[in-house]
Chains A and B, each alone.
Chain A
Amino acid sequence: MSTLARKKGVGAVIWDYLTTVDHKKIAILYLIAGGFFFLIGGLEALFIRIQLAKPNNDFLVGGLYNQVLTMHGTTMIFLAAMPLVFAMMNAVVPIQIGARDVAFPFLNALGFWLFFFGGVFLNLSWFLGGAPDAGWTSYASLSLESPGHGIDFYVLGLQISGFGTLMGGINFLVTIINMRAPGMTYMRMPMFTWATFVTSALILFAFPPLTVGLIFMMMDRLFGGNFYNPAGGGNTIIWEHLFWIFGHPEVYILVLPAFGIFSEIFATFSKKRLFGYSSMVFATVLIGFLGFMVWAHHMFTVGMGPIANAIFAVATMAIAVPTGIKIFNWLFTMWGGNIRFTTPMLYAVAFIPSFVMGGVTGVMNAAAAADYQYHDSYFVVAHFHYVIVGGVVFALLAGAHYWWPKMFGKMLNETLGKITFWLFFIGFHLTFFIQHFLGLMGMPRRVFTYLPGQGLETGNLISTVGAFFMAAATIVLLVNVVITTAKGQKAEADAWGDGRTLEWAVASPPPEYNFAQTPLVRGLDALWIEKMEGKKGLTPAEPLGDIHMPNPSILPFIISLGLFIAAFGFMYHNEYSWGLFVGIGGLLITLGSMFLRSVIDDHGFHIHKEEVLEAEKGVKA
């Protein structure tokens, strides 16, 4: 099998991506699927803002508004932000640690397809009788009463995509622990790799509570269970606890990789090593740990009592300390640096004040007594959009611009990139800043309309205008992608010229095997060290030889498809007699393919030394 680029037909390309186990191609799959769901979630956000643009509007009324609102939150968190984070991790982390792939390439593909089918399942609810309508938190007291199948789509879809996320997390843990190149000690790992490591640990511990919560919900809704039903001896608050024991670590699962992305960008475009590297590592681990200790701050108004509220309030405020450490380290990284304001750097610089504003309102919300006022108002909406958009979405856009040349081999247009940034930055603050005040003036969350004459008109109109700015930014970004793909400027290996970490030492896009020879890492910012010593490439840690690669496989796709079919069967088994058969049939497909995976010996294949030499020559020439 040759690694040289060949022209392939459309069918062959599709088959290639359906069966791929290569982390770089899986990253592209995550980017496309996550980007698609991001557009859907964004469209839903626009619909919400159109409905709220003026009082007594009737664009989306009542139940339909609830569905759009629920799907906006669920889609953005589970189907856009999570997979886009995984896209960055897959594209970069194996190369940053000098590995040829993740530890379990097959599992990596399985994780993607499970997420994808879960997401498709969830979104098919629009065409099959209505989407979930109990909010993205889906509190049991609401969701058990919801008629139709909307909540069932939520429960089963999230269950399937949650399996995929859990697999991805375990995969990255094993990869980072076992597959670092010689010389790459833990304290020489790039900050994004550290963030991925801690994030994966959070996934490992946070997703099981969600799985348990969803299974209870599935039992209650589809199989006559009573876990959350007080009339049957259950307790509706259990869902809230299980959800937030997962849900609070989840926001750190999203924002820690964002911190990692910005750490890379600040160091690269300030032409300085990251200030306070070891304190950054410490802060990341500490944020990860504290993330498990604060879930009940989402439930201050449930009535846990003053002692519980006080303890969780103090624990929550403690998180501001490691986060502050990080903020100061980024500022000091830029201090005295040779700063280049590229598109990714613009996002990084804009991130600091935006995220700090979200952090400050976070501490305000953490004060339990004050939270009784903020709770369920637009103040909270403004707070979490400041941290998630100002933190995570800025990071994903920055990371996409920063690593686009590494993923696709072409530089995104910088002018269009900067237009995207300014439109998005202005739109973001226009939309959400005013929402703090709408909340303080008493506008509740999740309502589909409001009356005139209460002083809420102007604020809501401004907010809606801002949303259209962000939509325009997204359109410019899409245009940029199309133009770049059609006639973009070819990127070099060190695409930005100031790369510090290992991913900038391999060609853009990297060959299938990443490194012809595993590199020897001699310190933090391994490539920068070599460049400072006047070397062109990395110091190899092994002689050139045959490279062992895993075979592609369609089984991950089929395993996930089986669960997708099974979910439909079990969802309809109470109304239709075919439901149970389809459900069991789907599970048989899944278990059958898992059986095949176990019994068929697959030793992979080798890329021979001569082919590697030929491919490397092609790159250098």
Chain B
Amino acid sequence: MANQTNTGNPNVDLAYRRKKNAEEMKHQVISFILMIALTLVAFFAVGYDEFSHWFSVPFILLLAVVQVAFQLYYFMHMSHKGHELPALFLYGGVLVAFLTVWAFMTVVWW
């Protein structure tokens, strides 16, 4: 795959690779903590009586979108080079699914 810019030999560019891995690790830990935090916020939004469903349901959906983005970009490496086509297909699928659901919610059933 094109995202593996280096050879398999572990002795090539050791310092560079260490730095890069450390940076990546930092990103992963940060996004992991954020994801846990977002999950807690979601629980809180449901548990807190002052919020009506009209607020908490869209709010949780928004949190879910952020979580999916973290998952894709930080844990599944979609930010790396060579992932353009998977991204195209993912967003294509999301667009088609969105338009379908949107059609149902606006013109077909209600």
Chain A residues packing against B (C-beta within 8 Å)? 173, 177, 201, 204-205, 241, 245, 289, 292-293, 296, 304-305, 307-308, 311
Contacts and interface: CB of A to CB of B under 8 A. Distances in A.
A293 B100 CA distance: 7
Contacts of B89: 173, 201, 204
Contacts of A293: 99
B100 A245 contact: yes
A308 B107 contact: yes
A307 B96 contact: no
A307 B107 contact: yes
B85 interface: yes
Contacts of B85: 177
B107 A292 contact: no
B31 to A, nearest CB: 28
A296 B96 contact: no
B99 A292 contact: yes
B100 A292 contact: yes
A304 B96 contact: no
A307 B103 CA distance: 11
B108 interface: yes
Contacts of B96: 205, 289, 292
Instruction: Give the interface centre of B100, B107, B108 by most chain A CB atoms within 10 Å.
Output: B108
A510 B59 CA distance: 58
Contacts of A173: 89
A18 B71 CA distance: 41
Given A177-B85, A245-B100, A292-B100, A304 B93 contact: no
Given A201-B89, A293-B99, 10 more contacts: A204-B89, A205-B93, A241-B108, A289-B96, A296-B103, A304-B107, A307-B107, A308-B107, A308-B108, A311-B103
Contacts of A177: 85
A250 to B, nearest CB: 15
Nearest to A295: B100
Nearest to A307: B107
Contacts of A204: 89, 93
Contacts of A311: 103, 107
B102 to A, nearest CB: 11
Main secondary structure of the interface of A (DSSP, over half): helix
Interface residues of B, number: 12
Contacts of A304: 107-109
15 contacts: A177-B85, A201-B89, A204-B89, A204-B93, A205-B92, A241-B104, A241-B108, A245-B100, A292-B96, A296-B108, A304-B108, A305-B107, A308-B107, A308-B108, A311-B103
Given A177-B85, A292-B99, A201 B92 contact: yes
A138 B109 CA distance: 21
A117 B99 CA distance: 35
Nearest to A293: B99
A421 B11 CA distance: 66
A305 B108 CA distance: 8
A318 to B, nearest CB: 14
Please list the 3 inter-chain residue pairs (A to B) with the smallest Cβ-Cβ separation, ordered nearest first: A308-B107, A292-B96, A308-B108
B104 to A, nearest CB: 8
A177 B84 CA distance: 11
Contacts of A245: 100
Contacts of B100: 245, 292
B9 to A, nearest CB: 23
Nearest to A292: B96
Specify which of A292, A296, A307 lies most central, judged by the most chain B CB atoms within 10 Å of its CB.
Answer: A292
A308 B105 CA distance: 11
A173 B86 CA distance: 11
Nearest to B100: A245
Interface string B75-91: 00000000001000100
A324 B102 CA distance: 29
B109 to A, nearest CB: 8
A292 B95 CA distance: 10
A322 to B, nearest CB: 17
A298 to B, nearest CB: 13
A177 B92 CA distance: 16
A311 B108 CA distance: 10
Contacts of B109: 304
A201 B92 CA distance: 10
A245 B104 CA distance: 12
A173 B107 CA distance: 33
Nearest to A177: B85
A436 B108 CA distance: 30
A245 B96 CA distance: 11
A241 B101 CA distance: 11
Contacts of B108: 241, 296, 304, 308
Nearest to B93: A205
A272 B99 CA distance: 40
A241 B107 CA distance: 13
Contacts of B93: 204-205
B106 to A, nearest CB: 9
